[in-house]
Structure 1
Amino acid sequence: MAGYSPDSDQPDRRDDSDRVVVVTGAGKGLGEAFAKAWASRGARVVVSNRRRAGAADDAGRVVDEIRSAGGQAIAEYSDMADPGAGEAVVGAALKAFGRLDAVIANAGTSGPARKLTQGSLADFRDVMETNFFSNIALAEAAQAPLQASPSGRFLLISSSAGLYGVRGRAPYAASKGALNAFAMSLASEWRRDGVGVNILAPYAATRMTDAPDLDPALAAAIAPANVGAVAVWLSSAACRQSGEIWVSGAGWLRRAQMVEGRGATAAPDLSAEEVQALAETLRGLEKLRGFAGAEAAFADLIRECQAARAAPAQSADKGSEPA
């Protein structure tokens, strides 16, 4: 995808010193790391995290720690799966700080750890409600304020599970796959408005990934704080990319993308057996290509098909030319 370039009349506020950032699921783990990373740069942060009856005030604790370090932050307690939560968290930012420059949509749930045949459709609905539908509502609520910002950014926190699947976590993987497709579509729609949309798939030791046998050295390497700078970059004014997926963890960063390999003509009159034989020659992923949307992928396939069909005719024409 071509690099994202906001309109030339938008100021390049690279210091982000007065940026207003919403971080959902910010009471612990990755969300807490993202909120603190932004606050340390001078941004004003809305720390959004649901608070269950009788549970600790995680959002309040994070806000207190940010303020103790000299930062600015407020707590917001919506359950992002509830109706109206998107409007509530965006409204909190506008009421407290007067505007909104970036959203890090981090709130999520891992869902049940069991195979598909051991679960139910309700498991999928519950996970999709938090990991997917709540982020649609948040995007809808944030659209106008982000478009009004000189450098609006919307960062969705996904997972490699949404790229490749994961055994025993089909609801979680499906929700993140849907989130990825939603983000790519949103990036295309919001590009003309100067709002960048990207995905971060982090590897981090959190409550969702907690394992009793996790090696302490590995746990330290994949601490949530080690991904904070990446999230800040992807939601900053300096980030001019949009519609991209970035994977990060343990101090490592790499880009991910859906790709297609080389093609070959599969004529309509081929038998299924002939298609199988052709497919075997195309299983390798040489000459990888990525596309800025399904439309571009379709157009590329049509161009390649037309070129392949024209090639034999051109060869025949050349063969008939006089020596």
Structure 2
Amino acid sequence: MSDIRFDGRVAIVTGAGAGLGRSHALELARRGAKVVVNDLGGAVDGTGSSLSAAETVVEEIKAAGGEAIANGANVTKPDEVAAMVDAARDAWGKVDILVNNAGILRDKSFTKMSLEDFRAVMEVHLWGAVVCTKAVWDHMKEAGYGRIVMTSSSSGIYGNFGQSNYGAAKMGVVGLMNVLHLEGRKNNIKVNTLSPTAHTRMTEGLIPEEAAKLMTPESVTAGLIALCAETAPERTILCAGAGGYAATKIYETPGVYLSPEEQTAENVMANMDKITSEHGQEEFEEGARQTFKFIQYAAKHFDLALG
């Protein structure tokens, strides 16, 4: 297989001043992309700001012979993000790749978590991904090319105690991917999701030191690069960390059909084992598939012909 290259491509990586974002930006640049290194420069909880982190990464890229510019846009603010996209287009004429990586943490149990902390995390992870994607979407449609990567987490896909805000946001970007995949495919815009496990400042003190040494940002970035490639997959949730790579898929079981006289909560409960049985489960690409399935069940019961 030939090397994955991004010569002539322009990428924006949000939250790229440290950790995974920094690793993503450096590798995209090493492979030929011109990179907008975006970072608000705040603390892990999102407070504060400084452009110095982004500028440091830009200097690293330039020292290695690449091209990059720093940007301190707050991903939750549409005007700042629009200006960032304009800066990229002024410098290089287009935006081909968007990596929605920016994020913050404000962990607490749901009982102790304030609504302000819930909203703040949702805004950066989910709303920030919406704002940044919206800012590049029409440009990519007009160009007939785009690669967009959301960043999810096992905390959203599977759950993690004390991260209701983070988990809700991280599952939200999966739903965003599912819809944008359908809307963007005719214009060659491929939308995927990365679900990383890495040792960064967000996981400091949570992972044993010996294990943390295996969880490098670079191992996650290898997966990110594949999702940005010309031959990238579509609508894929790629899990990556410590050298392991897997895909998360959402399946729907065949379920059961209950006739009108059987449609009671008691009968639903009585059939729960059949409803949750994995035998014959399918992966649906759009929500209408579920509706059609249920209508077919009902039509068969009433002996109706569907056109």
- Whether TM-score is above 0.5 comes out as yes
The answer for unaligned runs of 5 or more in structure 2 is 43-47
Counterpart position of 1:171: 165
Query: Alignment partner for residue 71 of structure 2, among 48, 70, 76?
Result: 76
Q: Does 1:50 align with 2:40?
A: yes
Displacement of 1:148 in angstroms is 3.4
- The residue identity in structure 2 corresponding to 1:62 is V
Counterpart position of 2:9: 19
Structure 2 residue matching 1:92: 3-state secondary structure: helix
- Preserved contact between residue 247 and residue 255 of structure 1 (Cα < 8 Å): yes
Displacement of 1:82 in angstroms is 2.8
Structure 1 residue matching 2:260: 3-state secondary structure: coil
Displacement of 1:152 in angstroms is 1.0
- The residue identity in structure 2 corresponding to 1:303 is Q
- The residue identity in structure 1 corresponding to 2:24 is F
Against the structure 1 CA distance between its residues 137 and 68, is the aligned structure 2 distance closer, same or farther, given a 3 Å change threshold?
Answer: same
Distance 1:150 1:124 in 2: 37
Displacement of 1:294 in angstroms is 1.0
Greater relative contact order (Cα < 8 A, sep 6+): 1
Cα-to-partner distance string for 1:10-40 (whole Å, 9 max, x where unaligned): xxx9642121111000000110111011111
1:196-275 equivalences in 2 (<5 Å): 196-211=190-205, 214-239=207-232, 241-270=233-262, 271-275=264-268
Distance 2:57 2:164 in 1: 32
Query: Comparing 181-190 with 293-302, which one deviates more in the overlay?
Result: 293-302
Query: Alignment partner for residue 146 of structure 1, among 110, 131, 140?
Result: 140
Counterpart position of 1:276: 269
Against the structure 1 CA distance between its residues 14 and 232, is the aligned structure 2 distance closer, same or farther, given a 3 Å change threshold?
Answer: closer
Normalising by structure 2, report the TM-score: 0.89
Distance 2:300 2:213 in 1: 53
Distance 2:196 2:108 in 1: 22
Distance 1:258 1:16 in 2: 31
The answer for unaligned runs of 5 or more in structure 1 is 1-12, 312-323
Normalising by structure 1, report the TM-score: 0.85
Q: Does 1:66 align with 2:61?
A: yes
Displacement of 1:304 in angstroms is 4.1
- Give the superposed CA RMSD: 2.1
Distance 2:159 2:208 in 1: 24
Distance 1:308 1:67 in 2: 67
Counterpart position of 2:45: none
Query: Alignment partner for residue 29 of structure 1, among 19, 27, 33?
Result: 19
Against the structure 1 CA distance between its residues 305 and 254, is the aligned structure 2 distance closer, same or farther, given a 3 Å change threshold?
Answer: farther
Counterpart position of 1:318: none
Cα-to-partner distance string for 1:32-83 (whole Å, 9 max, x where unaligned): 1110111110111110001356857111111111111111111111121234
